[in-house]
Chain A
Amino acid sequence: MPENATRELTFAQAVNEALAEEMRRDKRVCILGEDVAEAGTPFKVLSGLVQEFGVERVIDTPISEPGFTGVGVGAAMTGMRPVIDIMFGDFLTLTMDQMVNQAAKVHYMSGGKWKVPMVLRTTLGASRRSAAQHSQSLHAWFSHVPGLKVVMPSTPYDAKGLLKSAIRDENPVVFFEDKMMYKLKGPVPVEEYTIPFGVADVKREGEDITLVATSSMVQVALEAADLLETVGISAEVIDPRTMWPLDEKALIDSAKKTSRVIVIDEGYERYGVTAEIASVIAEGAFFDLEAPVKRMGAMHVPIPFSPPLEDVTVPTGPGLFAAAKKLCGKN
């Protein structure tokens, strides 16, 4: 892209801009959630939208996650394009029937007659000292369910392009934003663009090891890659960007090229997306691998409040650096 056609936006601004553009383009797009209007959410991601689009389209709801998520499902079936805002990813537990039994099933169960073009935006990520009920990364749950699409942007550029695609998608899409990333800045084109689902993005090219990283862990992987460079290891960082659809080919191709892989994700490691991605790579690149595919995710504990405890529950750059070095046979 030409340099004069981009500017730096924060992740939050990129999300905001995607919503504003889609709401201008399509009058059916509306936002429902807790404190989304004048408050613009506690993270201020939606600031300014109610001023432009009014309270008829940026709608404050009561604290009723199952209720307003269900309203979103019905509204999507009958002609609207609702974007549901679930403030903390932990509150997704309250929406499970609406998302898993209703939104995900409607199209299939009706033989393709009804569809649910709805986006559920929510957050993930620990390390805000918010304890066990405001810190989880529950994207694996939704990735497990046929009928849902799951999106996890890691840069302002990706956030904007993927959210615009999510709003235009004919299916229910769960869109995860890392709370810690809202202030992260990055280049975003002035020109309109969208990013298709199911296309992984190489965030850094390398030859010796592949770091498959999602959402919040992309920054961790890039930090580790810098450290690895200092010891002569060239790391490739690849971001699948969408958990489903999953760009299996790009992940396998990168693994074949480097022959060593670590998959890193902020969800729980046990039964998590790292297991799925590691399995895809192990099956697809088995004869090109020099070592077993390693996984790194959140510790199998509820996220603790106390800072020194919380900090060890989530993978870090130095931790990933050490693991990668070891996998490459350097101690």
Chain B
Amino acid sequence: MSTAVNQVSAEVTVTKEKMLQMYRRMQMIRQFEEQVNELYTRALMPGLAHLYIGEEAVAVGICEALNIDDYITSTHRGHGHCVAKGASPDRMFAELLGKEAGYCKGKGGSMHIADPATGNLGANAIVAGSAGIATGAAFSAKHAGKKQVAVCFFGEGALGQGVVYEVMNLAALWKLPVIYVCENNLYTEYTHVSETLAGDLLQRGTAFGVPSEAVDGQDVIAVHAVAKRMIERARAGQGPSFLVCNTYRYTGHHVGDINREYYRSKQEEQEWKTSRDPIKLFTSWLTGQGQASATELSEIENEVAAEMKAAVEFAIASPYPAIDKVAQDVYA
């Protein structure tokens, strides 16, 4: 993992507007998660949260290749996917604080944000728990003759779950428009991938005849380019793909996982943060290529900071749900 890739892909087919949008979304995810950590350390947030910092290029690169009515399923480490698909930070923070104004009226919390308006079928706290749901959404799209696709995000830990292979088999048999995106951030909770996964990751897809590729998950343009290809393929009725995004989780498994030396070194973390940071890499590429000026980018960064500050204030000021809501929504 020490092979430094200091610049993002040269495979550029996106407009400047799209690039700045990607930069903004990456900033939003980074700053959203920093605020989450702050809310946790200030004891303002009930429970825990699993931060997406370091992996921003994956969610953004892929979701920027999707339409609003395309589907995604997300994971316990799902804030990034939700933001990337277009969720509003204010209602996300409200959900994280268990407030009525949250996306799930406070009933879901950090690990279950769902939003039909942006095609978000929901974050799922069972590892690989949404593999069936995403595949089912693709089944619906195909059945209804719609051109929607579904993206199923999961971590490399989910490759230990049999249901992933069951639905890949089904999706390949039935040529379903679904892209299985494995975010390999190297750690299944507190255990290195070398202890959890045997064999070759990509061959897990190719065994089913599913086109499978790996990409540098720190390179948003590279992720976007391969995602676009796979999404177009799915939309054209050619079936599922499997994408492994090699990335890194900067922080602990959750916000309370502070002392991590027993499973990985500070030096390893520092290396990724210094030379493999997706936002830094994208920033230097954008400025180096003359796509954006440092001033433009720092303006975006500041706008996002103001948006996050207001979103947190909104969530803190929002009321909790009334107690009598507890038994509401058990059944439709």
- A and B form one complex: yes
**Of residues 83 to 131 in B, which have CB atoms within 8 Å of A's CB atoms?**
102-108, 112, 114-116, 121-122, 124, 126, 129-131
Which residue of B122, B124, B130, B173 is within 8 Å of A62 (Cβ)? B173
How far in angstroms is the closest Cβ of chain B from A105? Answer: 8
Assess the A74–B107 pair: CB atoms within 8 A.
no
Q: Is the C-beta of B330 less than 8 angstroms from some C-beta in chain A?
A: yes
Asked whether A78 and B137 contact (CB < 8 A) given A67-B163, A71-B170, A112-B105, the answer is yes
Q: Is the C-beta of A110 less than 8 angstroms from some C-beta in chain B?
A: yes
Inter-chain CA distance A115–B121, complex, in Å, is: 10
**Of residues 167 to 213 in B, which have CB atoms within 8 Å of A's CB atoms?**
167, 169-170, 173
Assess the A110–B122 pair: CB atoms within 8 A.
yes
Assess the B136–A106 pair: CB atoms within 8 A.
no
How far in angstroms is the closest Cβ of chain A from B119? Answer: 9
**Of residues 87 to 119 in A, which have CB atoms within 8 Å of B's CB atoms?**
97-98, 101-102, 106-117
Q: Is the C-beta of B144 less than 8 angstroms from some C-beta in chain A?
A: yes
Q: Is the C-beta of B42 less than 8 angstroms from some C-beta in chain A?
A: no
How far in angstroms is the closest Cβ of chain A from B149? Answer: 12
Q: Is the C-beta of B143 less than 8 angstroms from some C-beta in chain A?
A: yes
Assess the B122–A78 pair: CB atoms within 8 A.
no
Assess the B135–A64 pair: CB atoms within 8 A.
no
Assess the A147–B140 pair: CB atoms within 8 A.
no
**In the complex, which residue of chain B has the Cβ closest to the Cβ of A63?**
B166
Assess the B329–A77 pair: CB atoms within 8 A.
no
Inter-chain CA distance A71–B106, complex, in Å, is: 27
Inter-chain CA distance A108–B331, complex, in Å, is: 7
Asked whether A75 and B102 contact (CB < 8 A) given A62-B170, A70-B163, A107-B332, the answer is no
Which residue of A56, A77, A112 is within 8 Å of B137 (Cβ)? A77
How far in angstroms is the closest Cβ of chain B from A221? Answer: 30
Asked whether A73 and B132 contact (CB < 8 A) given A56-B143, A79-B144, the answer is yes
Assess the B129–A75 pair: CB atoms within 8 A.
no
Top 5 A-B residue pairs of the complex, sorted by shortest distance between their CB atoms: A70-B132, A74-B136, A67-B166, A111-B105, A74-B133
How far in angstroms is the closest Cβ of chain A from B116? Answer: 5
How far in angstroms is the closest Cβ of chain A from B213? Answer: 23
How far in angstroms is the closest Cβ of chain A from B298? Answer: 37
B122 / chain A contacts, CB cutoff of 8 Å: 106, 109-110, 114
**Of residues 52 to 70 in B, which have CB atoms within 8 Å of A's CB atoms?**
none
Which residue of B126, B131, B133, B173 is within 8 Å of A77 (Cβ)? B133
**In the complex, which residue of chain A has the Cβ closest to the Cβ of B171?**
A71
Assess the A109–B136 pair: CB atoms within 8 A.
no
Assess the A102–B132 pair: CB atoms within 8 A.
yes
Which residue of A70, A80, A113, A147 is within 8 Å of B133 (Cβ)? A70
Asked whether A111 and B167 contact (CB < 8 A) given A66-B132, A77-B136, A146-B330, the answer is no
Assess the B331–A147 pair: CB atoms within 8 A.
yes
Inter-chain CA distance A98–B129, complex, in Å, is: 8
Q: Is the C-beta of B234 less than 8 angstroms from some C-beta in chain A?
A: no
B23 / chain A contacts, CB cutoff of 8 Å: none
B134 / chain A contacts, CB cutoff of 8 Å: 74
How far in angstroms is the closest Cβ of chain B from A177? Answer: 23
Asked whether A112 and B163 contact (CB < 8 A) given A97-B129, A102-B132, the answer is no
Assess the A74–B108 pair: CB atoms within 8 A.
no
Assess the B169–A64 pair: CB atoms within 8 A.
yes
B102 / chain A contacts, CB cutoff of 8 Å: 111
Assess the A75–B329 pair: CB atoms within 8 A.
no
A101 / chain B contacts, CB cutoff of 8 Å: 126, 129
Q: Is the C-beta of B26 less than 8 angstroms from some C-beta in chain A?
A: no
Given contacts A75-B139, A171-B332, 12 further A-B contacts (CB under 8 A): A56-B143, A67-B170, A71-B136, A71-B139, A73-B133, A75-B143, A97-B163, A98-B132, A108-B330, A109-B114, A110-B122, A111-B107
**In the complex, which residue of chain A has the Cβ closest to the Cβ of B105?**
A111
